[in-house]
Amino acid sequence: MTTRPQNKKQSAVASTRSRDSVAHEANQIAWADLSWKPIAGDAKVTTGSRVTPVSKQFDDIYFSGRGIDETQHVFIDGNNIRQRFAQGNSFVIGETGFGTGLNFLAALETWQAASKPVQAHLDYVACEQSPLRPEDIRRTFQHLPNLKANVEALIDLQPPLTPGFHRLPFLDNVTLTLIYGDVRSALAEIEAKVDAWFLDGFSPSRNPDMWCPEVFQQMARLSNRNTTVATFTVAGLVRRGLTDNGFDVKKTPGFGRKREMLVGQFLPQKTALPDESSHFPRERKPWFARSTALKTAPDKEPLRLAIIGGGIAGASLAHAVRRRGGIPTIIDRDGLAAGASGNKGGLIMPRLDIGADAVAYFFRQAYIHCLRTIDNLTLETSHDFFNRCGVKLLASDKDEVKKFEKLLSEKTLPTDWMTQQGNDLFFPQAGVVDPKKYVHALASHTRVTNECVSSVIPGRDNIKPEVMFTSGNTEQFDAVIIANGAGDIFTVLQGIPFTNVDGQLDYFAKASPPEPAIAAGPYAAPAPGGGLLVGATYMKAEQGVAPTVSLEASKTNIEKLREIDLQIAKDLNAEDSAPRAATRRQTPDRLPTVGAIPNWDAYERDYDGLRHGQRKQYTIGRPLRGLYVMSGLGSRGLVTAPLCADILISEIMGAPSPVAQNVRHGLHPARFFIRQLKRQER
Ligand code: SAM
């Protein structure tokens, strides 16, 4: 499986990256402003062409000398990375200032040279408030031709200039999580167990934010007993900051002319932290804590995960499981893409919210992540299932015009991802996907069993979670995920107020579609393979009642289209449509539900105090062992499923979360239950 875009033309995310350097209050990310100076101490330097970047803001160099040797010495050797990679485990590196990516590239080179089992995965999580422009990254590494392939791959993956988390699948077994923003707020939102810290900023005297107490406190939260740290500086405030937060540090010989550097190990008993388990000791909302990851080891069999449901949710989960070296099995009595994911076509476009809250971050990131997933999948499978025709979002009234203006002025997406066209917004990367092909591409190399599940049983003692089939058979897995859209409701989901909605999509084989697609609630789009799609009705549905198509619904769809595009609507006859109706599952807050299924009885006992507004240290949320859910994706599943799947599989397999903690909290299966308790207090 190759997940690296190799051809720029095929990569919308890569080729349309932002050139926008204007920071805005809600979206304050701007390119690094650089000057260049000749590499010092390099005997081969005879001209100014061998140069090293200097930050104008901090008046300091990104690294000294030729860079890579110092990085190897300070960060790779300082954390004993080579020997630890050779042990064959998955590994997480945390870095405070990503900069040029040099430290990442050095770690990558070391990882590529190590021999390891297929399920080993390198996660690199880094913060950066001023990313380097692609041309600056190229210039930085022009004197290191052996890094060229990885440098170009890194440039191809550079995300748009939007704040927050960006999940970048680098190679089959390497994932880069880049967080654009200030290191203090970025670290506070990370959920991960970091094995080694690359503590890299400009010198403490010029860049104090990078070395402040909040940074060391967050590092402690994200560390465990084996976590190490290395940094080039031995400044007293850094030594004290690390020591005060549980790191045992010592000075060792520095690189080149630098006499000393610092290495250390996290020894949690030295801190005030209440425990050292994988649960985060200072959990802000313990009822939404990440569940304990399943245990894996290099000499163990890969994890086997059951995914109930073969739609976009299930297929995205299967894809995410395989990327992390696990073995997925999709269980769906009707096979792949039989429900709402079997429609003739589906829009891939963003939902954009004003402001910078978790919901706004989730939907924006989901859109960017979905486009990247589609790009990578197209390369992997050589299947073309996405028409990047662009989507025009039409303003339907004055309020919407105002909202669009706000989105533009807030730079919710950079200008090459969202432009103004009159009163409307245009998304050039958006388009129409063939959902069936999309689902099949995501689920390729996945075992699919056409069986009907009657119930799921949580794991207990030494027994793994089980799936029971209506045939009477049972099968055990390491984990079971319910991702069956509007299918059967299992009793373990009792605390989640799911509802169902039916929607009819009309397909006119002979009609000409608009290019780009248009949307304003109703939409008209080019159908995959030709013709016009018009959608979609929205009706509350009863659980277990199959959706039906109707001429009435086709007429409604045409009527609604008439309000936004008279020209297209006037030539359509309801009788000419080949309609399809499908049911979707949704939640009251219109956000997906993603995470470990709570043990509802334990939740009731453990959090009863919330009903009385009791303030105390609540225990970590107890889930039903080995059971998870990803459902309630509503009408945006084609866009949000890849990110939701990455969130859940990362939690199950112990990888860093691809999203901010507050985003994951907003999707947690216990959120309605907890809200209900708190409401009772009021
Ligand atoms: N590790 C980098 C490399 O391999 O090129 C070099 C890092 S450079 C010395 C420090 C980096 O930290 C810069 O890219 C800078 O923009 C970033 N930085 C400085 N202050 C920051 C802050 N408060 N939050 C996030 N990033 C910051």
Query: Within a 13 Å sphere around the CA of 465, how many CA atoms are in the beta-carbon half?
Result: 26
C-alpha 409 to ligand 1 mean position (Å)? 27
Task: Give the three-class secondary structure for 595.
Answer: strand
Give the pLDDT score at 300.
82
Q: Which two tokens stand for residue 126?
A: 């880094």
User: What is residue 297's predicted lDDT score, i.e. its pLDDT?
Assistant: 78
- 201 pocket-lining for ligand 1 (C-beta < 6 Å): yes
Tell whether the model's pLDDT for residue 4 goes beyond 60.
no
CB 637 within 8 Å of CB 340 = yes
DSSP H/E element including 51: strand 51-55
Burial tier of 115 (Cβ tally within 10 Å: 0-12, 13-18, 19+): exposed
Q: Mean per-residue pLDDT for 571-584?
A: 93
| pLDDT per residue as tens digits for the range 31-48 | 999 999 887 655 444 344
Taking the CA atoms of 203, 208, 213 and 216 in sequence, report the sign of the dihedral they define. Answer: negative
Q: Is 670 exposed, middle or buried (0-12, 13-18, 19+ CB in 10 A)?
A: buried
Q: Is the CB of 63 under 6 A from ligand 1?
A: yes
Which band of pLDDT confidence, cut at 50, 70 and 90, is reported for residue 12? very low
Kindly indicate the confidence band of residue 157, based on its pLDDT and cuts at 50, 70 and 90.
very high
Report the mean per-residue pLDDT for the chain: 90
The pLDDT confidence band at residue 341, using thresholds 50, 70 and 90, is: confident
* 3-state SS record for 643-660: HHHHHHHHHHHCCCCCCC
Q: Check residue 161 and give its pLDDT.
A: 93
- Of 582, 580, 592, nearest to 636 (Cα)? 592
| Cβ–ligand 1 contact at 183 (below 6 Å) | yes
Q: Is the pLDDT of residue 380 over 60?
A: yes
Spatial distance between the Cα atoms of 387 and 242, rounded to a whole number of angstroms: 51
Per-residue pLDDT band for 536 (boundaries 50, 70, 90) equals confident
CA of 97 to the centre of ligand 1 (A): 3
pLDDT band at 681 (very low <50, low <70, confident <90, very high): low
Which one of 47-51, 327-331, 614-618 scores highest in mean pLDDT?
A: 327-331
Distances from the Cα of 349 to the Cα of 222, 352, 389, 417, angstroms: 34, 9, 11, 11
Cα–Cα distance between 366 and 326 in angstroms, integer?
A: 23
Pairing of strands 122-128, 91-95: parallel
Mean pLDDT of 429-435: 97
The number of the ligand 1 atom at minimal distance from the alpha carbon of 99 is 14
Tell how far the Cα of 99 is from the centroid of ligand 1, in angstroms. Answer: 5
Of the candidate ranges 76-90, 137-151, 541-555, the one whose mean pLDDT is the lowest = 541-555
The arithmetic mean of pLDDT across residues 651-674, rounded, is: 97
207: Cβ below 6 Å to ligand 1? yes
| pLDDT at residue 476 in the model | 97
Q: How many Cβ atoms are within 10 Å of 494's Cβ, its own excluded?
A: 12
Average pLDDT of the residues in 329-336? 95
Phi-psi region of 522 (alpha: psi -120 to 50; beta: other; left: phi over 0): beta
Question: What b/e readout covers 390-420, taking b as 16+ CB neighbours within 10 angstroms?
Answer: bbbbbbeeeebeebbeebeebbbbbebbbee
Share of the chain above pLDDT 70, in %: 92
Q: What is the pLDDT of residues 232-274, one digit of tens each?
A: 999 999 999 999 999 999 999 998 888 999 999 999 765 544 4
Q: Cα separations (Å) of 575 from 161, 555, 580?
A: 47, 9, 13
CA of 498 to the centre of ligand 1 (A): 44
Pocket flag, ligand 1, residue 102 (CB < 6 Å):
yes
What spacing in Å lies between the alpha carbon of 180 and ligand 1's midpoint? 11
Nearest-angstrom CA–CA distance, 490 and 477 = 17
User: What is the structure's pLDDT at 27?
Assistant: 56
Ligand 1 centroid–CA 179 distance in Å is 12
